A and B are shown apart, each in its own frame.
Chain A
Amino acid sequence: MATQGGIAFQEKVSRLLRGQNGKPVLKPNRALVLKDAVANRKPKKGEASCITEMSVLMACWKQNNFVDTLCSNEINSFYMCVEKAQADAKNKAAQSNIQGGRLPPKQATALLKRYPNLCKEI
């Protein structure tokens, strides 16, 4: 952005800091420098997966006094549901990464750290 605006941008910033008629518009308490990191996004709270399967399994357990051999069908279906849910979560994460158009915040931070803002000449 600075290279696009160039000198005009810097002049605008210095005019804001100096101010018109001696009164500055901006009084920054920190240096006007960009950080080498991006704020993290709050991950969306999903719903609990496989609740129906779990409740069916627990009902079966209650009926059969927690013997596992009699509930083997329910156990297998629960495991399959869990596997599917994990695969879905992985696919969803990959999809949202590709579709977003922007980089996810962790990858953006990694990239910025590799090419940081130079604050010293050495």
Chain B
Amino acid sequence: MAYGGLTVPIIVMSVFWGMVGGVLPWLVPKGPNRGVINTMLVTCAVCCYLFWLIAILAQLNPLFGPQLSNETIWYLKSHWP
């Protein structure tokens, strides 16, 4: 999936948190705690989605690469694609 670029992860995560924040509140059964639970769901969805979005956007265009020791490079070269 990492090689598919940006589209697949974005779609997956957006759909997931969109469901949590937008669809689930309608499905919560009526009761005294409905308001609190809905608030919790929406806040949770917004916070977690934003956090994940920041993490992925920060890695989208790296302006510099990781610096490795030559031993690691030798090892990774032969064992990793």
Q: Are A and B part of the same complex?
A: no
**Chain A: residues with CB nearer than 8 A to chain B?**
none
**Chain B: residues with CB nearer than 8 A to chain A?**
none
